[in-house]
Amino acid sequence: MRLEPITDPSIARRLGFPFAALCTTFLIASLLAMIAGGNPFSVLGLILKGAFGSQFAILETLNRATPLIFTGLAVAVAFRAKFWNIGAEAQLYAGALLTVLLGTGALPWPSAALLPVLAVAAILAGAVLLLGPAILKTRFGVDEVVTTLLFNFIFLLFISMLLEGPLKDPMGMGWPKSERLIAEARLPRIAEGLRLHWGFGLAILSAVMIWIIQTRSTLGYEMRAVGLNRQAAAFAGIPVNRVLLKTALLSGGLAALAGFSEVAGVKASLTLDLSPGYGYTGIIVAMLALLNPLGVVVAALFVAGIFVGADSMSRAADVPTYLADMMLAIALLLMVLAIMLTRFRIVRD
């Protein structure tokens, strides 16, 4: 058995294999559910119902998808230029930190003025955070996978230090959490009475904007060229290092918006459990979306749906929520396989 490259895969092939990967994911998940003692059909049904079965469930899924869209976009933008940003988690907390620093009363402004300032401050914080690894890479050739990944731990410890010290809420009963945002710094709900805040709208808007930038702007063209062939890009006169720095700024800013949106839209204060690994899950989201910014929205909804659905399923069927993590891992592995199968065909000897 061998692999033979396909020079020009058909649309059916490019869509069929990823779809088959998703179906297989659900099949394996039901087997796992069965092993865990549940009825495979009811478990899958419960996940679906928990994720999309009611207005409440759908809104919960959309809420959960919001930070994943931001981190997914951050990763997709960077990976497109072959800039391996594994540090979306730290950039998310940088955005959250700035939101809390400026949103807890430091700027006593009305919402219309305060929220844009908070968002921009968050973006700048995330961008600056990623600028360091980007400069190390372009100047000295330091591998950004190592720097961004390790910086996550440093930055989380730094946040922890702040929450135990200067940022600690004096009214927090000793918990390591910041003060709450003032009311003007909270993102409003999209509709009265619905548990969905405007962070979701901002996420969708960001995805569309990134898509437009990638397909229509010279910067998007440059980022794709640098990602596909750095040598040819440099020969053609594309300033490769400058493009990588711009990519880093954009990627870091997007990841930071996840932190802004979670604090201003949901939690209202900064704690160390603000993100259950949204920065890392963003990598899965971006890969599932094949780095397409609009695909990121769909992939984020899929991933969020599995998490939310598994939560509610585990309450009803007594199957552990870890099933969600396994499903994601399986989906990612199968998707990688599916992508390979769209580009190669298996030939039997």
Partner 1 sequence: MNTTAVEALRLEGITKRFGALTANDAVSLSLNKGEVVALLGENGAGKTTLMNILFGQYAADSGTVHVFGKPLPSGNSRAALDAGVGMVHQHFTLADNLTVQENITLGAEPLLRIRADRQGARQRILDLSEKYHLQVSPDARVGTLTVGERQRVEILKALYRDVRILILDEPTAVLTPQEADDLFATLRLAIADGLSIIFISHKLHEVMAIADRVVVLRHGKVTGGVATKDTDKAALAAMMMGTQAQPPKVAAAMPGAVLLQLDQVCTPDQGSAPGLKSVSLALKAGQIIGLAGVSGNGQAALADVVGGTAKPTAGTLTLNGDDRLDWTPRIAVQSGIARIPEDRHKTGTIADFDLTENAILERYTAPDFSKSGWLNWRAARDFANAIITKYDVRCPGPDTPIRLLSGGNMQKLILGRTLEAAPQVILANQPVRGLDIGAVHYVHSQLLAARARGAAVLLISEDLDEVMALSDVIHVISDGRLSPGFARGELTPAQLGLWMAGQGFEDEMKHAS
* Minimum distance from residue 343 beta carbon to partner 1 (Å): 11
- Count of residues near partner 1 by CB under 8 A: 23
* Minimum distance from residue 59 beta carbon to partner 1 (Å): 36
* Minimum distance from residue 222 beta carbon to partner 1 (Å): 8
* Euclidean distance between CA atoms 269 and 285, whole angstroms: 26
Looking at the Cβ atoms of 7 and 55, the one nearer to partner 1 is 7
Q: Which tokens in the block code for residue 157?
A: 């410890």
- Collapsing DSSP to helix, strand or coil, 87 comes out as coil
Looking at the Cβ atoms of 216 and 315, the one nearer to partner 1 is 216
Q: Which residue in the set 31, 35, 228, 340 belongs to the binding site for partner 1 (CB under 8 A)?
A: 228
- Under the binding rule (CB under 8 A), the answer on residue 11 touching partner 1 is no
Q: Which residue in the set 7, 55, 141, 183 belongs to the binding site for partner 1 (CB under 8 A)?
A: 7
Q: CA-based Rg of the chain, rounded to a whole angstrom? A: 21
* Minimum distance from residue 234 beta carbon to partner 1 (Å): 7
Question: Of 35, 23, 25, 156, whose CA–CA distance to 87 is shortest?
Answer: 156
* Euclidean distance between CA atoms 349 and 36, whole angstroms: 40
- Under the binding rule (CB under 8 A), the answer on residue 290 touching partner 1 is no
Q: Which residue in the set 224, 272, 320, 325 belongs to the binding site for partner 1 (CB under 8 A)?
A: 224
Looking at the Cβ atoms of 37 and 239, the one nearer to partner 1 is 239
* Euclidean distance between CA atoms 119 and 257, whole angstroms: 7
Query: Using CB under 8 A, which residues numbered 204 to 223 contact partner 1?
Result: 216-219, 221
Q: Which tokens in the block code for residue 104?
A: 């807890």
* Euclidean distance between CA atoms 111 and 181, whole angstroms: 12
Looking at the Cβ atoms of 239 and 276, the one nearer to partner 1 is 239
- Under the binding rule (CB under 8 A), the answer on residue 315 touching partner 1 is no
- Under the binding rule (CB under 8 A), the answer on residue 236 touching partner 1 is yes
Largest CA distance in the chain: 73
* Minimum distance from residue 120 beta carbon to partner 1 (Å): 20
Q: Which residue in the set 2, 11, 170, 191 belongs to the binding site for partner 1 (CB under 8 A)?
A: 2
- Among the candidate windows 4-12, 137-145, 253-261, 279-287, which touches partner 1 by CB under 8 A? 4-12
- Under the binding rule (CB under 8 A), the answer on residue 231 touching partner 1 is yes
Opening angle at CA 225, ends 223 and 228, nearest 5:
110
- Collapsing DSSP to helix, strand or coil, 289 comes out as coil
* Euclidean distance between CA atoms 162 and 106, whole angstroms: 17
Query: Using CB under 8 A, which residues numbered 237 to 276 contact partner 1?
Result: 237, 239
Looking at the Cβ atoms of 273 and 349, the one nearer to partner 1 is 349
- Under the binding rule (CB under 8 A), the answer on residue 55 touching partner 1 is no
Q: Which residue in the set 28, 124, 234, 298 belongs to the binding site for partner 1 (CB under 8 A)?
A: 234
* Euclidean distance between CA atoms 17 and 175, whole angstroms: 48
* 114-123 core/surface letters (b: 16 or more CB in 10 A; e: else): bbeebbebbb
- Among the candidate windows 38-46, 108-116, 232-240, 308-316, which touches partner 1 by CB under 8 A? 232-240
Looking at the Cβ atoms of 5 and 174, the one nearer to partner 1 is 5
- Under the binding rule (CB under 8 A), the answer on residue 235 touching partner 1 is yes
Looking at the Cβ atoms of 168 and 343, the one nearer to partner 1 is 343
- Collapsing DSSP to helix, strand or coil, 3 comes out as strand
* Euclidean distance between CA atoms 125 and 97, whole angstroms: 9
Distances in Å between the Cα of 173 and the Cα atoms of 111, 169, 170, 183, 268 are 29, 8, 7, 21, 17
CB 79 within 8 A of CB 286: yes
Instruction: List residues binding partner 1 (CB under 8 A).
Output: 2, 4, 7-8, 216-219, 221, 224-225, 228-229, 231-237, 239, 347, 349
